[in-house]
Amino acid sequence: MNLVDEVTERLSVDEAQARRGLGTMFVAIRMALDMRTFTTIATAFPDIGDWMVEAPFQGDGTGEMLVMATPSAVRRTLAVADFDGGRATELCRIVGDAIRTQVSPTVLAALNAKLPLFD
């Protein structure tokens, strides 16, 4: 099962909403990590670029992207993508589990140190 299908099924959302939620998560991960570490994660998810362009931003999004690398900012942006508190938490769990199966413990530790949403 691919990640969009898993989000759709587990959270009872449509594909567009799943893609917006995943995009939000991966934009935040990109902003939190250095490019080398992010590339390690991105390599494991071939559709990551497509998801990231679907992340919701208010206005033109230019300054917003820089502050996405905090847990509270991620949750606010997920709310814009129609992921409430419980669904946002579960989306973080799904993304964390998917990343955990694809990258080394060192990369996962770096992610959790910068963006502690994936425990």
Per-residue pLDDT of the chain (119 residues; tens, 9 = 90+): 699 999 999 999 999 999 999 999 999 999 889 999 999 999 999 999 999 999 886 544 444 554 566 788 888 888 888 898 899 999 999 999 999 999 999 998 999 898 887 76
Predicted pLDDT at 68: 63
Report the number of distinct structural domains present in the chain.
1
Is 62 part of any domain? yes
Predicted pLDDT at 96: 92
Is 119 part of any domain? no
Is 55 part of any domain? yes
**What type of residue sits at position 67?**
V
Predicted pLDDT at 63: 46
pTM for this entry: 0.88
Is 22 part of any domain? yes
Is 26 part of any domain? yes
Burial degree of 115 (CB within 10 A; 0-12, 13-18, 19+) = buried
Range of the domain at 64: 3-114
Q: How far apart are CA 83 and CA 49, in angstroms?
A: 20
By 3-state DSSP, what share of the chain in percent is helix, strand and coil, each rounded to 5? Answer: 70, 0, 30
